[in-house]
Amino acid sequence: MEKEALSRRDFLKVSGLSMASFVLRPEVVERGSPGVISKLETDLPLYALTIDDCFEPDSLVGVLDLLKQCHLQATFFPVGRAAIICDSRHPEIFKRLAREGHTIGYHTMEHSEKGTVLQTTGGEWNEDYDEWIETFRRLLGRDIFSLAVKRYARAPYGEFTSNFLDMCQNKNLTPYFWSAGSSWLVNDWPLEQGDILLLHATEEILSLMREKIQYVSGDLRGTSITCFDDEAYCSYFYPSEGMLRRRKNFSGYIQGA
């Protein structure tokens, strides 16, 4: 059957609806916008290693084993629901993560589809963050901020909307983008000092990491975002004499000398 043409009234109704969704759709912040950090300032040969999502429990274990073996630390941005799945398969895995010096930032409860992320209101983000925090209280114990959880946030897909950023301000969170992704590993592109490398805890990325992470890192050491502003989180990274000398400089740097 041939489609009926829209009446003028229907047309106005439909175009009104699409106009409304356009107006309601929050603006997405571009990479490098003020307030969203995509690269870190440092005089030291460091880059920040960040691992997102964590929907694959066995891959998360593999990533932790590899980081331990390579003396690397990272900041994880786990999705709340993924963390629950990992914990049910490997009980207390996030306690292990904390014990081994890694840190954790907020990456939402569900990692909803892009369209939903763009339509989420500030109030809904606030509630989502509270639920995510409660989830990690259950997984890590009550005092999570003295353990591994930091006031960092990363929007799903890096879609930092104005509503997401309002929530960050409300909850005193620093939003972190990234400056390098898994294509750095695939293409052997060297990292630069202060780069934020984004990877995911998946089987595919884990095998890439095993093969290439040291090569792509070059002379740089992979560390958590936290290491850039808290020396205590850096001590693990200076095994050689040369690096220990740099650590002394780092103390001065931290104290603003």
List contacts with Zn ion (CB under 5 A).
52-53
* Least distance (Å) between residue 164 CB and Zn ion: 13
* Distance (Å, whole) CA 106 – CA 36: 14
Cβ nearer to Zn ion, comparing 81 with 95: 81
Q: Closest approach of Cβ 97 to Zn ion, in Å?
A: 17
Q: Which is nearer to Zn ion, 52 or 56 (CB)?
A: 52
Q: What angle do CA 248, 228, 62 make, to 5 degrees?
A: 110
* Cα 195 from chain centroid (whole Å): 13
Question: What SS3 string covers 37-48?
Answer: ECECCCCCCEEE
- Give the shortest CB-18-to-Zn ion separation in angstroms: 28
- 59 sits in which H/E element: helix 57-69
Cβ distance to Zn ion smaller for residue 150 or 221 = 150
Give whichever of 73 and 108 is closer to Zn ion, judged by the CB atom.
108
Residue nearest to Zn ion (CB): 52
Q: Among 80, 76, 86, 78, which residue's Cα sits nearest to residue 49? A: 76
53 or 195: CB nearest Zn ion? 53
Smallest distance, Zn ion to C-beta of residue 27, A: 20
134: part of which helix (H) or strand (E)?
Answer: helix 122-140
104 phi and psi angles, rounded to 5 deg: -130, 135
Tell me if residue 251 falls in helix, strand or coil. Answer: helix
Q: Which is nearer to Zn ion, 46 or 74 (CB)?
A: 74
Q: How many CB atoms lie within 10 A of CB 103?
A: 24
Which of these, 244, 156, 198, lies nearest to 47 by C-alpha position? 198
